[in-house]
Structure 1
Amino acid sequence: MSICVSSNVSTNGTADYFGYSVPIYFMIIIAIIGISANLTVIIVFINCKIHRRSFNYLLVLQQSFLDMLVFCFYLCAFYYPVPKRNIVYCKFGTLLFFCLSASTLNLVFISIERYIAVVHPFKHRIRVNEKKNTLPKLCIPLAAAFLITLQYAFILEEDPAVPGACTFCYKNEGFQMLSGTILLLANWVIPVSTMTFCYYHVYITLKKQAKIRAELTMQAHTKGAGDESAVEINISPSQANRKDKAHDAQRNFIITMSVNTLVYFTCVTPGILFYVIYTICECFDVINHFFRNYVFLILYINNAANPIVYAIIFKDFKEGFSKTLSSVLETVLPICTTGAQKGNL
C-alpha cells in the first residue's frame, strides 16, 4: 500500500499553493531576477575567460549554470500551461530537485577544494601538476546529486485527489523515513557541516600565514631592506608582487564563497527546521500552513543571491563585469549614434 503526501510540486498552471500568502507575481519576479543575474555571471566569465584562471572559477561558472537552470525548471514546472498534465509531467519535477541538489553539492565541492589548497598546499600542488582532465572532477557534484535525487523519479506521482497536482508516493513508512533522512543529510547536515569545517580551518590557516608574513615584514624593516616581500621569500620584487596579488585574489575568493555559504545556511535552515518539526510532532497541517509558502520563497532566493554576492565582493567578477559592460557600450553606442543620425537626415 502506497503512502502519498502532497508535495511542493504543484503542476497547475496558476500555482495555487502560493496564493495563500505569497503573491504569484512576486515569485515570478524572483525567478526572472535569478535567471538574469546568473546569466550575467555566465556571460562575464566566458567573455573575460575568468573560468580559465583556476578550477575553482570553473566551479563558480558551473554554479551559475545550475542556479539559472533551477529557475528555468521552476518556471516550467509551475507556470507553463500544459494542456494535459500526466505522470510524465510530474516526473519533470525531478530535474528541478536535481539542480537544487547539484547547486548545493557544488558549493560543498568548492569549499573542499579551497580547504585542500590552503590547509594542505603540497597535496594540492601535486594534484594540479598532474594536469588531469577537469571534466571528471566537475561531474562529481552532478553525479552525487543524481544519486540523491533519483528517488524523485519513482516517488513523484499524479495526485488522484487534486487534479493537476503531484504528490510524493512512498511504498511504505520505512522508505518514507529513509527518503527523508537522506534528503536531510544531503541538503543540510552534510553540506553545512562540511563547509563550516573547511572554511573555519581555511580561516585559521590564513590567519597564521598573515601573522608569519607580518613578522617577516617587520624583520625586513628592522634590517632596512628595500622590498619586504622580496626579503620574505627571497625573490625579485616583481615576483613578490605577483605572489601578493595571487594571495589577495585567493583571500578574496574565499571570503566570497564563505559569504555564499552563510547565505545558503540562512536560506535553507528555515525549511529544514519546518520539515524536522513536522516530522517529529505532526502537530500542524504542513500543506496549508502559511509559513510553508515563505519557506520555499526563501529557498529559491538563495539561488538568486550568489550573483549579488559576486557583484559586491568578488573582485575578479567586478573587473570582468566592468570590461564586459564597456565592450558592450563601445559596440552599441556607435550603432545607436549612426541610427540617430540617419533618422535626422
Structure 2
Amino acid sequence: MTRDNDISVTVSNYLLTIIGFFANLTVIIVFINCKIYRRSFTYLLVLQQSFLDMIACCLYLYYFNYPAPNGNIAIYCKFTTLFFFFLSASTLNLVFISIERYIAVVHPLKYWIRGKHKQSLLPQLCIPLVAAFLVTFQYVFILVEDPAVPGKCTFYYKNEGFQILSGAILLLANAVIPICTMTFCYFRVHITLKKQTKIRAELTMQAHTNHGSDESAVEINISPSQTHQKDKAHDAQRNFIITMSINTLVYTICISPLILLYVVYTICECFDFIDHASRDIALLIAVSNMAINPFVYAYKLKDFKEGFAKTFCRQH
C-alpha cells in the first residue's frame, strides 16, 4: 500500500469512527430521553443494537489504527477478539430482531403468550451476546503475535483443517445464516401484513354495507377510534419492518466483502490477511454498516424521527 493510500485509509477510518460513534450515540439519547425503548421489546433490541455498534466503532479505531503498545503483544492480540465479538454481536442482534418480529406478526398467539411472562424478556437480550461469544471465541486461540514481524498480530492455525473450519464458521454465522434468516423473516412478515391489510379492507367494506342495509339483522359496530388505533398500530408495524429490511440489505452489501475475503484466505492462504490492502478496504466497508444504521432510522423510522425532533428541536 502506498503512503497516499495509507493516509486515505487512516483518514477514512477516523471519519467513519467519529460518524458512527456520534450517530449511534444520538440514537441512544433519543431512545432513552423519549423512553422509546419501553414501548416494546423490539425497540429495546434496537437500543442494544446502537450500543453494540457504537462500541464496535470505538474498538475498530483503537485496534486497527493505533500501533500495538509496548509490552506483552500476545495479550494485546488476544484482546483484539473484543472487536470481532462486538461485530458479530451486532450481526446476531439484527437477526434476533428479525426473528422477534416474525413471531410477533406471523405467530401472534405465541408472541402474546410469551409476552405474558415479562420477566423472561430481559435475559433474552443476552442471546445475541452469548451466540457471538461462541462464534468469536476461536480468535482467542488463533490471534497471536506475528513471529516474522514483532509487534504485529496475525492469524495462526494449528492445522489446515482448523483453518478451513474457522472460515466455514465465520461464513455461516456472520453471512449465510444471518442473511437467509433475515430475508426469510421479513419476507414472511411482509406477506402476512399484506394479507392483514386485505382482510381489514374487506371487513371495513362489509361493515359499511351492513350499516347501509335496512334488511341486515346484525350490524357490525366498529367505532372510529378503534379503527384509527388499529390503522396506526398496523402502519407503525409496517414502518418498522421496512426500516429493518433496509438495514438487512445494507448489512448484506457491507459485510460480504470481508467475509468472502477471510474465507478465501482460510482456504488458500495465498496472501497476508492482516497487511493486505483489500482487508483494510473490506473492513472499512463492514464497519460502515454500523455507522449507516442510525441514518436508516432517521430516514425511515417514524418513532425515531418524532423522538429526534422532541429531543433536539425547539418546541414552538
TM-score by length of structure 1 reads 0.83
**Helix, strand or coil at the partner of 2:156:** strand
Corresponding residue for residue 249 of structure 2: 262
The superposition leaves residues 206-227 of structure 1 with CA deviations (integer Å, 9 ceiling, x where unpaired) of: 11111112222232343456xx
1:286–1:169 Cα change, 3 Å: closer
> In 1, Cα distance between the equivalents of 2:274 and 2:130?
31
Matched, 1:123 2:96: no
Residue type at the aligned position of 1:314: L
Matched, 1:78 2:54: no
Residue type at the aligned position of 1:181: A
Task: Calculate percent identity across the aligned residue pairs.
Answer: 68
1:17–1:59 Cα change, 3 Å: farther
Residue type at the aligned position of 1:68: M
The superposition leaves residues 184-204 of structure 1 with CA deviations (integer Å, 9 ceiling, x where unpaired) of: 110001101111111111111
Matches within 5 A, 1:143-158: 143-158=130-145
Moved more, 172-181 or 193-202: 172-181
Contact kept in structure 1, 2:145 and 2:153, CA below 8 Å: yes
Q: 2:182 aligns with which of 190, 195, 200?
A: 195
Contact kept in structure 2, 1:91 and 1:157, CA below 8 Å: yes
> In 1, Cα distance between the equivalents of 2:69 and 2:271?
34
Q: 1:33 aligns with which of 9, 13, 19?
A: 19
1:160–1:280 Cα change, 3 Å: closer
Q: 2:171 aligns with which of 184, 196, 205?
A: 184
> In 2, Cα distance between the equivalents of 1:289 and 1:87?
21
TM-score by length of structure 2 reads 0.90
Moved more, 299-308 or 156-165: 156-165
Contact kept in structure 2, 1:33 and 1:304, CA below 8 Å: yes
The superposition leaves residues 104-128 of structure 1 with CA deviations (integer Å, 9 ceiling, x where unpaired) of: 0000000000000000011111111
1:130–1:300 Cα change, 3 Å: same
Contact kept in structure 1, 2:168 and 2:263, CA below 8 Å: no
Contact kept in structure 2, 1:216 and 1:232, CA below 8 Å: no
Extract unaligned runs of 5+ from structure 2: 213-217
Contact kept in structure 2, 1:267 and 1:301, CA below 8 Å: yes
Moved more, 209-218 or 39-48: 209-218
Displacement after TM superposition at 1:279 (Å) = 4.8
**Helix, strand or coil at the partner of 1:167:** strand
Q: 1:310 aligns with which of 293, 297, 300?
A: 297
> In 2, Cα distance between the equivalents of 1:208 and 1:75?
46
> How large is the RMSD of aligned CA atoms in angstroms?
2.6
Corresponding residue for residue 291 of structure 1: 278
Contact kept in structure 1, 2:170 and 2:259, CA below 8 Å: no
Matched, 1:68 2:45: no
Tell me the number of residue pairs that the alignment of Structure 1 and Structure 2 aligns.
310
